[in-house]
């Protein structure tokens, strides 16, 4: 594959990814707006419910989410490093 063809593929992937992430961002906003509207409507139509004594706090749930995302970021970093190292070794083996 020529460098210009590889560059074209990379640019196309970047544009497609950008469009996908933009659409995902819009969907996320619409989902949050809809969930907020449903929750607001629901709370207006129902009597107040006492808090559950065993329910986790907002801070605890946020901490759990942070741990999950930090773990995911570490896994992605390891995968990126592995892919880079494999590419280097395969390219080196192909050149030999």
Which tens digits make up the pLDDT trace of 39-95? Answer: 899 888 888 877 788 889 999 999 999 999 999 999 999 999 999 999 999 988 877
Which stretch of DSSP H or E encloses residue 85?
Answer: helix 58-95
| Same domain? 22 vs 60 | no
Give the Cα separation of 92 and 87 in Å (integer). Answer: 8
Burial class (CB in 10 A: 0-12, 13-18, 19+), 1: exposed
For residues 1 and 29, state if they share a domain.
yes
| 45 and 64 share one domain | no
**Number of structural domains in the chain:** 2
The reply to whether 12 and 29 lie within a common domain is yes
Alpha-carbon distances, residue 18 vs 27, 28, 69 (angstroms): 14, 15, 21
- pTM here is 0.61
Residues spanned by the domain of 77 = 51-96
Q: Are residues 4 and 17 in the same domain?
A: yes
């Amino acid at each position: 594959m020529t460098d210009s063809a590889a560059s074209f593929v990379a640019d196309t992937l970047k544009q497609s990814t950008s469009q996908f992430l933009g659409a995902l961002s819009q969907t996320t906003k619409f989902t949050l707006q809809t969930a907020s509207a449903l929750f607001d409507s629901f709370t207006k139509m129902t009597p107040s419910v006492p808090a559950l004594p065993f329910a986790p706090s907002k801070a605890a749930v946020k901490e759990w989410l942070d741990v999950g995302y930090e773990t995911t970021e570490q896994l992605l970093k390891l995968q990126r490093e592995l892919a880079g190292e494999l590419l280097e070794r395969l390219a080196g083996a192909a050149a030999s």
